[in-house]
Amino acid sequence: MDLSGKHAVITGGANGIGRGLAQRFHRAGANVVVADLDSDGARRVAAELNHQRPDSACGVRADIGSEQGNVDLIRAAEATFGTVDLFFANAGVGIGTDLETTEDAWNLAFDINVHAHRWAAKHLLPTWLSRGEGYFCSTASAAGLLSQIGSAPYSMTKHAAVAFAEWLSLTYGSRGIRVSCLCPQGVNTNMLNQGDAPGAGPASSVVRSAGAVLEPAEVADITLAVIEAETFLIAPHPEVLTYWGRKVADYDRWLAGMRKLQARILGE
């Protein structure tokens, strides 16, 4: 896919990976809708992009934790730049720890990390199928291929995000719908850094110990290359594929290794 002249929507675009994607896609020639619950942040990113190329970006407030919020975002994007060519469901939350996590937190994790992808696709597909093309991208996580020590909600929702992207690709890939799924490990974002706060649990420490922490711009470069090639899995950390291969080859050995890693991180 050549993004030049295309219309891209990126959720969670005010910071971190989303901001990096917005900047990179814009440099590739796309018109970008930067969507975020942080409306001021989304508009700041859009203003930076418009300074480089006038009238090529728009920042909007988007609450994608409900179906209507996704509908409103898509309609706003269409009103700005026309039919959406690429939708990147990037927004996510890293909340919750174990089975004592509140129901509200569980529900929020599923709404943002999974259902938002489903709701967006539901309302994008009719137009895409009628014209025979469209690109849906989602940010899951290495946790969606492996697991996340210290957070049951994150592990479950990121696995579900990968599963939904797979289903979307296999169901509609022969009808012109392209799908890619981003599964990074450690990235220098607010989500990772907030994990260092007291009481946040071991998730951040596990991620940092597992490999390099990339910058959002690095992830965005790799993501664009995969989109241009129109392949499915975006794995910015090569070691994730190694771990994934070990998991598939010997599930019990992989689980035992993860338990040892957990014990080491927790000092057990």
* Active-site annotation, residues: 154
Return the HEC string of 47-92.
HHHHHHCCCCEEEEECCCCCHHHHHHHHHHHHHHHCCCCEEEECCC
DSSP assignment of the chain equals ---TT-EEEEETTTSHHHHHHHHHHHHTT-EEEEEES-HHHHHHHHHHHHHHSTTSEEEEE--TTSHHHHHHHHHHHHHHHSS-SEEEE--------STTS-HHHHHHHHIIIIIHHHHHHHHHHHHHHHHT-EEEEEE--HHHHS--TT-HHHHHHHHHHHHHHHHHHHHHGGGTEEEEEE--S-BSSHHHHHTTSTTS-SHHHHHHHHS--B-HHHHHHHHHHHHHHT-SEE-SSHHHHHHHHHHHH-HHHHHHHHHHHHHHHHT-
Nearest to 202 by CA among 141, 255, 263: 263
Structure tokens at 263: 């014990």
